[in-house]
Amino acid sequence: MRELSIREALNEALSEELTRDDRVFLMGEEVGHYDGAYKVSRDLIKKFGEKRIIDTPISENGFAGIGVGAAMAGLRPIIEFMTWNFSLIAIDQVVNHAAKARYMAAGELSCPVVFRGPGGSVKQLAAQHSQSLESYYAHVPGLKVIMPSTPKDAKGLLKAAIRDDNPIVFIESEAMYGEKGEVPDGEYVIDIGVADTKRPGTDVTILCWSKTVPTSLAAAQKLEEIGIHAEVIDLRTLRPLDEQCILESVKKTNRCVIVQEAWPVASYGTWLTSFIQERVFDYLDAPILCLSGVDCPYPYAKSLERHMAPTPETVVEAVRRLF
């Protein structure tokens, strides 16, 4: 297989889908002539022109609304937020309009729009640019929420998202765009709602997504050295959730640690804790632990920043508490 970065894999997915379906277009700040703030849309304006790669003003609510309307009218827009932190300006369009369209139209209307862009923490971008907001969107019926962690998954899931008839929230890790991995040649699509067991194990289930996947895999390697065989499951999509994969793993290992960057209160990880406990309580040999980011705004100072998110060492420490 070829080795691509996540940035390159996403670019390839966009190019292929723009070529495959002339209803697809990309809209957002700096996506065209600047090649995207993170260069995910590099050279796309040269290939497809200004009618399909559309630069916008700084107006998230405006261009998100255009995307929702275009989707209802039969096109398949991809709306790029320069960062998901800025999506809060457009949350009315995403939550009140895109997510509700099919339900309120009794199935007569669809809204095939993909909202995508970088999220989560990255070095020294401080409190307003380092938030993990997935729980905001996973909370909403009608939205599908995808958070890939590898180039292969990023490409296959983005292609599936663009083809889906529902509104999609596609959150890419801002810190992982340069991470490389194997990507198959030729056409492939990864089904939405299917988790991936990145590392099999028998002693504890570690559930993770996006940036916490490499953290969890590094922790699993350290745990192996002390005789604990961790199963690392990358959820990939938070909504719909691969319930069967998760529950079967926990029934096998009898222990579970959830690793997330987000704040702990009302987070996706804390909901996941409740979900698992309600369904497989009798299989658990220890409490489910949810390892989250520190419950405060993200600092700018490096000396503070390094303590904010889970690390391989803190994941190992959490797992050891279960034995």
Q: Which of 8, 17, 29, 60 is catalytic?
A: 60
- What's the rounded Cα separation, in Å, for the pair 247 and 213? 19
Q: Which residue has the tokens 């983005």?
A: 158
- What's the rounded Cα separation, in Å, for the pair 44 and 46? 5
Q: Which residue has the tokens 């961790």?
A: 230
Contacts for 39 with CB less than 8 Å, ≥ 6 apart: 7, 11, 177
- What type of residue sits at position 277? Q
Assign 3 to helix, strand or coil: strand
- Spacing of C-alpha 239 from chain mean position: 10
Contacts for 192 with CB less than 8 Å, ≥ 6 apart: 144, 146, 157, 160, 161, 164, 168, 237, 240
Q: Which of 8, 17, 29, 129 is catalytic?
A: 129
What the block records as the tokens of 269 is 């990880």
Spatial contact of 260 and 173, defined as CB atoms under 8 Å apart: no
Render 231-292 in DSSP notation, one character per residue. EEEE--EEES--HHHHHHHHHHHS-EEEE-SS-STT-HHHHHHHHHHHHHGGG-SS--EEE-
Would residue 60 show up in a list of annotated catalytic residues for this protein?
yes
Q: Which residues does the annotation mark as catalytic?
A: 60, 129
